[in-house]
Structure 1
Amino acid sequence: MTATGARAVPWGALPHGQATAPARSPGFHLAVLAVFLSPMNYLRTDIIYFTASDVAVVMALAVMLWQGALPRRPFGGATGLWLAGFLMLGTGLMLGSIAHAAGVDLGKVMAQYAFSLLLVPLVVAGRSLAETVVLARALVLSIVVVMLFGMWMIHVVPDPPLSFVSHNNRMRSLVERENECAAMGAVGLVFLLGLWQAGLARLWELLVALPILAYGIMLTGSNTGLMCAALGVGMTMVFAPSGRLMVFVLAAAAAILALGTAFPALVPDVFRTRVLEGITAGDPNLSGTFTDRLLLIQEAFRLADDRLLIGMGAEQFRNISVFDAPVHNTYLLLLNEGGLLSLCGLVVLMLAGLPAPLSHLTDRRHRGVAATTLTILLIFALMLNTFPHFYARFWNVPLILALSLSCALPQHHRTRPTRSAAHA
């Protein structure tokens, strides 16, 4: 039995991720709902940051607690490292907040981090491979729905709300952020490629989702999103090389290039002006807010010199900055607000995601899943350079789910039937 009470299933019983159904418990169904709703950041309260996904998480926690099904070690052997990273991050912010009398802001920020990094893993992680694959497929489906909703807003709705489409016609969709929406598209692509490579998703699913995700990324006009997508595909090929994956990627790239050349109208204007022109000219100033973000980063480096041991406290950077805004770089923000201790805590959190996939990367049966985890971790590390605090569920749920995929493999491998039992 697994930590959540679901019966582990043999690897061979999971062709295309469909054969043996996961446990049909209310807690699992609520976990699927929580994962599906996680990219839909728009569905939240106005008073505090509490999303529709969070409601499903709380309900799942209540059911699982009642059933005694909460996992003791959601990330297996790396759970202790994960908890240590959280404690270091929180302690650094606490010390800085106490020193600068920012207790109220500390409470708000740490409540969000505790929910994302401690409670969400209890619902999403620590499950059997069969259940984790269902959760991953639910996430990909949700990202596809988010992209389709954004396309409908841009191409059908005459005057879409600014929550979904920006002033310069960049797609935000239900994520409500352009770069993060594009990153979600890259994450969905990586998950689907990894599952297909591992035999846990069908080719037709990849063929249907790929154009939607690719066009959605273009509609965001995000250089960061394009970089994440390219990194995701490239790293998947590096970590889990195979002939069929290379053929598929080359064929897909050739098809996209041919369509874009033959039908220029298919390439959104916002992608052409914000991404292609900047790449062609080699000028980052054509890519939107690069200069403004660089000024915040330079300011953050200057302010950090005096705050290496004791930071300025949670949410205090915007109060000190001459630009009245937090630096959109999580590493620098945590260094300023929580000192080196918080920054090291973030690094430890990311290191907790390495042992499980690295231990399976050399095994051909598990390589696709391990590559998915490592690639999502790399995308997450890259995206931390583009936004402030990272407790939003639309990003942490995919990260936790990616780690969970690889953490499910050892448990799955131990229960694999022997050759004699297979022929019995």
Structure 2
Amino acid sequence: MNHAGTPRGYWAKPDRRPAAPPLPKVTGRIGLWLAAASVFLAPFNILRVDTFYFTASDAFALAAVLAMVLGKSFPLAPLAAGTLLWNAGIALLCGMLLLSSLVVGDPGRGFVISAQYLYAYFLLAFMLVSRPWAETVLLIKAFTCSIALMCLQGIVVIDVLKGQGSSFVSGNGRFIGWVERENECASLIALAVPLLLWMVASGCARPRWAWIGVPLFAYGIVLTGSNTGLIGLVFALTVFVVMTGSWRRIILLAGSSLATFFIVITWGRDFLPAVFQRRVLNALQNGNIDEAGTFADRMRLINEAIGKADNNSLLGIGADQYRLVSELHAPVHNTFLLIWVEAGLPGLIGFLLLLVAGIIVGMLAARLREGRIAAICTLATVLLFAALANALPHLYGRFFVVPLLLGIAPSVAILRDGPAPRSVARFLRRARSERARLQPPQRRPI
């Protein structure tokens, strides 16, 4: 065939431009960074609207969920084998709260509180839990960095600025952080400890970060003057280290704890915040638990709630109604009793199913060869969450639910993607080197 008469440029030149990435890949990247922003802002309870409980973290979380839907990456079973129990627990808890409010209590509060629990434990689970290894590690690092930043802020506000005119310090000198509540702030810091220990034990962070992070978190709890947070910190360290089964780590923890306690009760007392000395240290030295904050008032509320729970075996009094029927006009600081009284016994069973689902996921991960450290993280986080629930009211705040879900995430990643080679860190390094090998070499400018 003669092409002599064909004009120049007639034949199309090959397109050497790189192909545009597919939509699921783009939305996946956007959704990951939106989820990371949501996790980082989870402790920022101060960034919320006034009309109803909706925080800046919630806005990023909804955007991340939308990106997952657009990218068709919405997981059907976010908690792997524990999804059925988890969803059943949410349905039972929210359903009984709403039903009790419609029949006995205030329907408006029933819709609001049920929606808060549904959003926190159902929607956030889809966004956070069922993610690959690299994304799970990124989210956990974002959360622990946020907690570390809050503790550093507490040191600056109380020790440097002496708490003068700060909205992050309560009237009696206790650090309330971005959570705006003393005990909740301390409990949140304690929940970050298993996540930090998991990153170090799995190789995602160097050991020096544990030696830096744990004392920083401990001092942040000291600034709150919270007995609940201090007990939670000791509980988290003990459970995590004992579950590892390493006698060297157990002896190291016991020795460092005894040394710290000896220093605190001797010459180190004068260097501690006055609120910690008044609320915590005096009770430890005198052996009188009544001096430990508001312990006596809390026990009165608990005894009152136990008496009311006997009369609410099927239906409760409705969401957010306990403070109205209490003689002290305050909610009982025990989530289990509060849900039992307000949602009835079936509602309490639903809340317990959530905890059981997390424990089952951790136990299944422990059966795998490389899932032991992830299982320890999950079990320590769930058990710590259950222990803290004995000293706190309703637990639908995002700053509590996010660390619980992040603690379950490593076990879900093990069950979904299989054991990581030797450790998560080596797995991530291998993935990065593989991506670098597959990328075409870039030309240097002449």
* Length-normalised TM-score, structure 2: 0.84
Aligned-CA RMSD value: 2.3
Question: Which residue pairs with 2:144 in the alignment?
Answer: 140
**2:207 counterpart of 1:198:** no
CA distance in 2, matches of 1:232, 1:348: 22
CA distance in 1, matches of 2:131, 2:68: 12
Between stretches 249-258 and 287-296, larger displacement belongs to 249-258
Residue 330 of structure 1, CA deviation: 1.0
CA distance in 2, matches of 1:31, 1:374: 24
In structure 2, the CA distance between the partners of 1:257 and 1:389, relative to structure 1 (3 Å rule), is closer
CA distance in 1, matches of 2:257, 2:284: 18
CA distance in 2, matches of 1:311, 1:304: 8
Residue 64 of structure 1, CA deviation: 1.3
Q: How does 1:62-101 map to 2 (within 5 A)?
A: 62-101=66-105
CA distance in 1, matches of 2:328, 2:341: 15
Residue 195 of structure 1, CA deviation: 1.9
Residue 305 of structure 1, CA deviation: 2.1
Question: Which residue pairs with 2:296 in the alignment?
Answer: 291
**2:353 counterpart of 1:312:** no
Cα deviations by residue, 1:113-166 (Å, 9 ceiling, x for unpaired): 111011111111110122111111111111101111122221233554575212
CA distance in 1, matches of 2:322, 2:268: 47
Question: Which residue pairs with 2:407 in the alignment?
Answer: 402
Residue 101 of structure 1, CA deviation: 5.0
CA contact (8 A) 1:81 1:348 kept: yes
In structure 2, the CA distance between the partners of 1:414 and 1:208, relative to structure 1 (3 Å rule), is closer
Q: How does 1:46-125 map to 2 (within 5 A)?
A: 46-125=50-129
CA distance in 2, matches of 1:412, 1:105: 41
Amino acid at match of 1:378: L
Question: Which residue pairs with 1:239 in the alignment?
Answer: 243
Residue 180 of structure 1, CA deviation: 1.7
CA contact (8 A) 1:239 1:361 kept: no
In structure 2, the CA distance between the partners of 1:257 and 1:332, relative to structure 1 (3 Å rule), is closer
Amino acid at match of 1:324: H
Amino acid at match of 2:253: V
Stretches of structure 1 that go unaligned for 5 or more consecutive residues are 7-22, 418-424
**How much identity, in percent, do the aligned residues show?**
37
CA distance in 1, matches of 2:165, 2:128: 32
**2:388 counterpart of 1:383:** yes
Residue 333 of structure 1, CA deviation: 0.9
**2:357 counterpart of 1:352:** yes
In structure 2, the CA distance between the partners of 1:160 and 1:387, relative to structure 1 (3 Å rule), is farther
Amino acid at match of 1:78: G
CA contact (8 A) 1:178 1:220 kept: yes
CA distance in 2, matches of 1:91, 1:189: 33
Amino acid at match of 1:268: P
Of structures 1 and 2, the larger Rg is shown by 2
In structure 2, the CA distance between the partners of 1:268 and 1:97, relative to structure 1 (3 Å rule), is same
In structure 2, the CA distance between the partners of 1:344 and 1:284, relative to structure 1 (3 Å rule), is same
Residue 364 of structure 1, CA deviation: 6.1
Q: How does 1:177-326 map to 2 (within 5 A)?
A: 177-242=181-246, 245-246=249-250, 249-250=253-254, 252-253=256-257, 256-257=260-261, 260=264, 261-326=266-331
CA contact (8 A) 2:169 2:175 kept: yes
Amino acid at match of 1:288: G
In structure 2, the CA distance between the partners of 1:24 and 1:156, relative to structure 1 (3 Å rule), is farther
In structure 2, the CA distance between the partners of 1:416 and 1:221, relative to structure 1 (3 Å rule), is closer
CA contact (8 A) 2:368 2:419 kept: no
SS in 1 for 2:175: coil
2:398 to 373, 390, 393: 393
Amino acid at match of 2:281: L
In structure 2, the CA distance between the partners of 1:65 and 1:171, relative to structure 1 (3 Å rule), is same
CA distance in 1, matches of 2:380, 2:194: 7
Stretches of structure 2 that go unaligned for 5 or more consecutive residues are 1-23, 423-446
Question: Which residue pairs with 1:342 in the alignment?
Answer: 347
* Length-normalised TM-score, structure 1: 0.88
CA contact (8 A) 1:42 1:174 kept: yes
CA contact (8 A) 1:100 1:312 kept: yes
Residue 231 of structure 1, CA deviation: 0.8
Residue 244 of structure 1, CA deviation: 5.5
SS in 1 for 2:317: coil
SS in 1 for 2:245: coil
CA distance in 1, matches of 2:311, 2:105: 18
**Higher RCO (CA 8 Å, separation ≥ 6 residues):** 1
**2:131 counterpart of 1:130:** no
Amino acid at match of 1:192: L
Between stretches 358-367 and 23-32, larger displacement belongs to 358-367
Amino acid at match of 2:154: G
Between stretches 177-186 and 260-269, larger displacement belongs to 260-269
Aligned residues: 398
Residue 376 of structure 1, CA deviation: 1.0
